[in-house]
Structure 1
Amino acid sequence: MEVTPVCTERIGTDGCIIRSDRGHRRSKVPRDVEMDIEFLYKVVPQLAKVFRIIDKIGEGTFSSVYLGEAQMRDGRREMFALKHLIPTSHPTRIAAELQCLTVAGGKENVMGVTYCFRKDDHVVIVMPYMEHRAIVEIISSMSFEEVRLYIYHLLKALRHVHQFGIIHRDIKPNNFLYNRSHKLYALVDFGLAQGTVDTQIELLKDLTGLRRVPRPVFGERNLNSCTPAPSTTKQAAIKTESGKTEEPASRRYPSASRGPLPARSQSSSQKPQRAVHQGLTCNCYQTDRVCNICLSRKQQVAPRAGTPGFRAPEVLTKCPNQGTAIDVWSAGVILLSLLSGRYPFFKASDDLLALTQIMTIRGSRETIQAAKAFGKAVVCSRELPRQDLRTLCETLRGRRPSPDDEVTPLPEANKDSTATRCHKIQDDTPTHRPANGAGQTFPNHREHSQSTPLTKQDSESDYKVEEDERGWDSVPDEAYDLLDRLLDLNPATRITAAQALQHPLFADL
């Protein structure tokens, strides 16, 4: 492959760099993006031999994505997505993501990998580029049939990756690309993936702690690098300051979204707490307060990766046994957004507030019962009724009146509002210290937090006509039945992706 050279380049009046490409229209690139592209060329110089990087099209906590063009041997120009992983990513994590893409990718609506470049600790994964638009831009114009097909193809992708024992852990619309014109779909970003007990992805076993002796990565089989990697990045195991070998599963990796973890200290005036037997029930068990025994216990560590608003109840309550059901819950949240026309549907600043928002939809009694099933105790100071999903979605979509705004609003973080003390989460044999301690407050707000408003035309009647033309006047009961099963609070009884594909909603597919 050869790179199509850039013909001319000049600075526009708005400070953007304007490129005139042979056979292509002019494109404006902001200066900061141009600097990022130059930096990428510098740290991974072999990219320049193959790709002409055009623009930065995405940026996250752990990576940045660029749009690159390559000229094929037959003269065709083809576009690719170049994912540049942050240098602090652990080699095992990077190799595991690559293995997920190579083993499960390329079919069943799962993005595959074309190539990989590496120079020292910089890794660039090259994938086919799929033109797409963000859900937030098109949700107000999507028809019900479009929503049905979208969820169907998302479930196909989940069934496929779950068959390999892959838990994606970050299912959301931004990671399920949708080409509206050609009806193409692609599940992307396995950077947070973990493996089930019987996973077929070998490197996920290292990350999940299923293998005691980590296997080396980036060793004999180098990922197309032009220079050998430093010895510190060749092995999955790492050396701590004390000289001991530490497994990746037990190591905390830095990220841009979190600061350094505070060291635990005990003042000289405080007396050390006595160790309490695991089976002993403390004084605050199933109450809305936290006693000194619970405060002295070591905080439970459990996987909680993912995007706020899409985390399942078992993730929010730090249940240690998390499986593929967490991806299914996230798919249910997406369906809830699409049926109600509100995106994002849940918007919370912390896990306790997120659990509160779930309770306002699924009911507090049901949440408490489900949490008990997977070994957690959740307490709510007042009962929140379970809402009918059809009534909720049609009310939010404006298809039925909400008398006196009686639909239970989602709580938001606002210190000026009247607050209600709500939830505390702990193990049935209490060993969990609730985040932020007791007295967590959750205000009652009537407006949904940062939701996408439904687009209304000149009049209410015109809007209703457009909605009817898109099929929102005849949404079948099967859609809300599937939604109810995807949002099952108990992961043990939650429908699987394979079972969901057999649901009557998809009978003709």
Structure 2
Amino acid sequence: VNVLKIKEKIGEGTFSSVYLATARLQAGSEEKMALKHLIPTSHPLRIAAELQCLSVAGGQDNVMGVKYCFRKNDHVVIVMPYLEHDSFLDILNLLSFEEVREYMFNLFKALRRIHYFGIVHRDVKPSNFLYNRQLKEYALVDFGLAQGTPDTKIDLLKIIQSEDQQESCSQNKSHVTLGNKVSASATAPRERAQQLATKTSDRKPLSQTRIEQRNEGKEGPMHHSAQRSVFGERNFNVHSSTFQESSTAKQSKVMDVASRKLVTKKKIISTKTVSNGLARKAASSCPAKLTCDCYATDRVCSVCLSRRQQVAPRAGTPGFRAPEVLTKCPTQTTAIDMWSAGIIFLSLLSGRYPFYKASDDLTALAQIMTTRGSKETIQAAKTFGKAILCSQEVPAQELRMLCERLRGTTSNSTKSAGDVQVSPSQEPALPAVMRKRLEPAPQAPVKQIQHPKYNCHEGDGGLEIRIPEKTTDLKGWDEVPDEAYDLLDKLLDLNPATRITAKDALLHPFFKDTRL
């Protein structure tokens, strides 16, 4: 490549921007490329791991590969092949059922490929699975949040995994919520950050202070640091030295290397952190068998203060996070990618996207209960060591009936089951979160066109042609087989241990006529 010429920005995420560019090849021809520019605050180990995922697992089975990579100072650009793709929202209700089958088959091929190498993508969603409907081409992209399984074949993911485990087990980590919605966290010592930085890059030691304040629920970073307790996650942390529990500690200030604008707030942070630290130390002598007595009250008891914080990755996009991610289960496997694939399949079968849309994890979990049932969710959570309390029981929905009602179609298999007509009063009640989706779409206006040739109408006007904008072709949606909903049920298994794998999904009867 002699010259890369940037045309336009085609995407933007939390940690990167993507540009369309043309590469002038030595032969004289031009080729379209996608340039992913990683923001300078990305951790160097995370960048290197993403590159290794692309180079080792990418380039086949619908997984995006890498062409080149270059770096200038803290700026890293990854050059990848460009796949012109369709917007998922634009084509959702245009796809035939057969196209949906092909789409899911190719998604499972990509997931089988990365899971074989022990890569957990952690952010599977339509915008990260590019699809060219005309050319029938697919590409799984964006490994910026990927993690490794215990037996991963990606060496750098092993390093990230060991770093995460050491940080979660560190006795130096505590977390408190302070006034003015500022959250503070004391991380591992400076030496640890220096060792990690020396191991991965020649960048400066990443042990800076970070203070971020939330304004009306919006994230507003004020100072940046590259070290994060969980790689790839945005969190609101103050990285500071360990406070000494003495009278002089009460007057100490939070270390701030980037600005002097928060002097008045630093005293509040310092004194409250110390008082919380003393409370935790006093509470640490509590017997382990004592039960909490602060539930549903406006205080925190000594038992709760003495508990060690559980650190668990929470990567992904709201609406696609698996139950074990929402409940902060520390052990997360490739099953979280299969749950996300199930949510995509649910959107394709129901014609509704996004299917779940929640602003926080608890709301997202409640929405899952509306389709999978509260009892089932609570029972599944017990299998991975989590307890969920639900104020009322919500029954599970029958997936076929739910999807057909949302899409507004009825399959022949449903009709043939006795041909019994069900009155509206007998129909199963949908949760409130789903009822809004069943409101009929406004009818498309009928166009009246006067034909220039024909004047055969007696009197005035000429010939009027009525053209409905929407065709009545069901595109196979009246013949959705039971195997489709059986696969959906296995993908949305609330228990990650029994959730279907990508390899088994490709062998499911739903794909019996599809070539591997």
- What TM-score do the two structures reach when normalised by structure 1? 0.72
- 1:485 is aligned to 2:490: yes
Structure-to-structure mapping, 1:84-233, within 5 angstroms? 84-209=37-162, 231-232=202-203
- When residues 250 and 63 of structure 1 are mapped into structure 2, their CA distance, relative to the original with a 3 A threshold, is closer
- 1:336 is aligned to 2:346: yes
The structure with more helix, counted as a fraction of residues: 2
Deviation at 1:371, TM superposition (A): 0.1
Match of 1:365 among 375, 384, 405: 375
How far apart, in 2, do the equivalents of 1:454 and 1:167 lie? 38
Q: Could you tell me which residue of structure 2 aligns to residue 69 of structure 1?
A: 22
Match of 1:408 among 400, 412, 430: 430
- 1:54 is aligned to 2:7: yes
Q: SS of the residue aligned with 2:92?
A: helix
What amino acid sits opposite 2:430 in the alignment? T
What amino acid sits opposite 1:232 in the alignment? R
Match of 1:507 among 494, 512, 516: 512
How far apart, in 2, do the equivalents of 1:169 and 1:402 lie? 43
- 1:82 is aligned to 2:87: no
How far apart, in 2, do the equivalents of 1:200 and 1:98 lie? 14
Match of 2:333 among 318, 323, 329: 323
How far apart, in 2, do the equivalents of 1:192 and 1:96 lie? 10
Structure 2: 5+ residue runs without aligned partners?
Answer: 167-194, 210-225, 240-268, 411-421, 447-467
What amino acid sits opposite 2:356 in the alignment? F
- When residues 318 and 278 of structure 1 are mapped into structure 2, their CA distance, relative to the original with a 3 A threshold, is farther
Deviation at 1:488, TM superposition (A): 0.2
Match of 1:466 among 468, 472, 480: 472
Deviation at 1:87, TM superposition (A): 0.2
Contact kept, 8 Å, 2:52 with 2:156, in 1: the verdict is yes
Structure-to-structure mapping, 1:277-316, within 5 angstroms? 277-278=287-288, 280-283=290-293, 292-293=301-302, 295-296=304-305, 297-316=307-326
Q: SS of the residue aligned with 1:51?
A: strand
Deviation at 1:293, TM superposition (A): 4.8
- When residues 407 and 84 of structure 1 are mapped into structure 2, their CA distance, relative to the original with a 3 A threshold, is farther
- When residues 121 and 345 of structure 1 are mapped into structure 2, their CA distance, relative to the original with a 3 A threshold, is same
Q: Could you tell me which residue of structure 1 aligns to residue 283 of structure 2?
A: 274
How far apart, in 2, do the equivalents of 1:67 and 1:218 lie? 29
Q: Could you tell me which residue of structure 1 aligns to residue 358 of structure 2?
A: 348
Deviation at 1:249, TM superposition (A): 8.8
Q: SS of the residue aligned with 2:393?
A: coil
Q: SS of the residue aligned with 1:378?
A: coil
Q: Could you tell me which residue of structure 1 aligns to residue 459 of structure 2?
A: none
How far apart, in 1, do the equivalents of 2:349 and 2:298 lie? 38
Deviation at 1:251, TM superposition (A): 3.4
Structure 1: 5+ residue runs without aligned partners?
Answer: 3-49, 220-230, 242-247, 412-444
- When residues 270 and 208 of structure 1 are mapped into structure 2, their CA distance, relative to the original with a 3 A threshold, is closer
Q: Could you tell me which residue of structure 2 aligns to residue 437 of structure 1?
A: none
Contact kept, 8 Å, 1:95 with 1:217, in 2: the verdict is no
How far apart, in 2, do the equivalents of 1:169 and 1:268 lie? 34
How far apart, in 1, do the equivalents of 2:17 and 2:235 lie? 18
Q: SS of the residue aligned with 2:77?
A: strand
Deviation at 1:398, TM superposition (A): 1.3
Contact kept, 8 Å, 1:55 with 1:66, in 2: the verdict is yes
Deviation at 1:65, TM superposition (A): 0.1
- Residue by residue, what CA displacement relative to the aligned partner does 1:459-501 show, whole Å, maximum 9, x if unpaired? 9xx7996352x11101000000000000000000101111111
- Residue by residue, what CA displacement relative to the aligned partner does 1:116-145 show, whole Å, maximum 9, x if unpaired? 010000000000000001101110111111
- 1:389 is aligned to 2:399: yes
Contact kept, 8 Å, 2:206 with 2:227, in 1: the verdict is no
Contact kept, 8 Å, 1:88 with 1:254, in 2: the verdict is no
Identical aligned residues as a percent: 58
- Max radius of gyration: which structure? 2
- What TM-score do the two structures reach when normalised by structure 2? 0.71
Contact kept, 8 Å, 1:392 with 1:407, in 2: the verdict is no
Contact kept, 8 Å, 1:209 with 1:249, in 2: the verdict is no
396-405 or 376-385: bigger deviation: 396-405
- Residue by residue, what CA displacement relative to the aligned partner does 1:426-480 show, whole Å, maximum 9, x if unpaired? xxxxxxxxxxxxxxxxxxx8424xx999796569xx7996352x11101000000
How far apart, in 2, do the equivalents of 1:162 and 1:366 lie? 27
- When residues 218 and 284 of structure 1 are mapped into structure 2, their CA distance, relative to the original with a 3 A threshold, is closer
Q: Could you tell me which residue of structure 2 aligns to residue 251 of structure 1?
A: 229
- Aligned pair count? 403
- When residues 268 and 97 of structure 1 are mapped into structure 2, their CA distance, relative to the original with a 3 A threshold, is closer
Contact kept, 8 Å, 2:18 with 2:34, in 1: the verdict is yes
- When residues 184 and 100 of structure 1 are mapped into structure 2, their CA distance, relative to the original with a 3 A threshold, is same
How far apart, in 2, do the equivalents of 1:402 and 1:173 lie? 37
- Residue by residue, what CA displacement relative to the aligned partner does 1:353-391 show, whole Å, maximum 9, x if unpaired? 000000000000000000000000011111000100000
Q: Could you tell me which residue of structure 2 aligns to residue 435 of structure 1?
A: none
What amino acid sits opposite 1:91 in the alignment? P
Match of 2:500 among 480, 484, 495: 495
How far apart, in 2, do the equivalents of 1:507 and 1:387 lie? 27
What amino acid sits opposite 1:154 in the alignment? L
Q: SS of the residue aligned with 2:131?
A: strand
Match of 1:447 among 436, 440, 443: 436
Q: SS of the residue aligned with 2:139?
A: strand
How far apart, in 2, do the equivalents of 1:486 and 1:176 lie? 17
- Residue by residue, what CA displacement relative to the aligned partner does 1:69-127 show, whole Å, maximum 9, x if unpaired? 01222222100000000000010000000000000000000000000010000000000
- When residues 147 and 463 of structure 1 are mapped into structure 2, their CA distance, relative to the original with a 3 A threshold, is farther
- When residues 475 and 402 of structure 1 are mapped into structure 2, their CA distance, relative to the original with a 3 A threshold, is farther
- Residue by residue, what CA displacement relative to the aligned partner does 1:215-237 show, whole Å, maximum 9, x if unpaired? 96666xxxxxxxxxxx326xxx8
How far apart, in 1, do the equivalents of 2:103 and 2:298 lie? 44
Contact kept, 8 Å, 1:140 with 1:455, in 2: the verdict is no
- When residues 458 and 408 of structure 1 are mapped into structure 2, their CA distance, relative to the original with a 3 A threshold, is same
Q: SS of the residue aligned with 1:81?
A: strand
Contact kept, 8 Å, 1:106 with 1:112, in 2: the verdict is yes
Deviation at 1:508, TM superposition (A): 1.0
What amino acid sits opposite 1:447 in the alignment? K
How far apart, in 2, do the equivalents of 1:346 and 1:480 lie? 18
Contact kept, 8 Å, 2:335 with 2:499, in 1: the verdict is yes
Q: SS of the residue aligned with 2:124?
A: coil
Deviation at 1:182, TM superposition (A): 0.4
Contact kept, 8 Å, 1:69 with 1:77, in 2: the verdict is yes
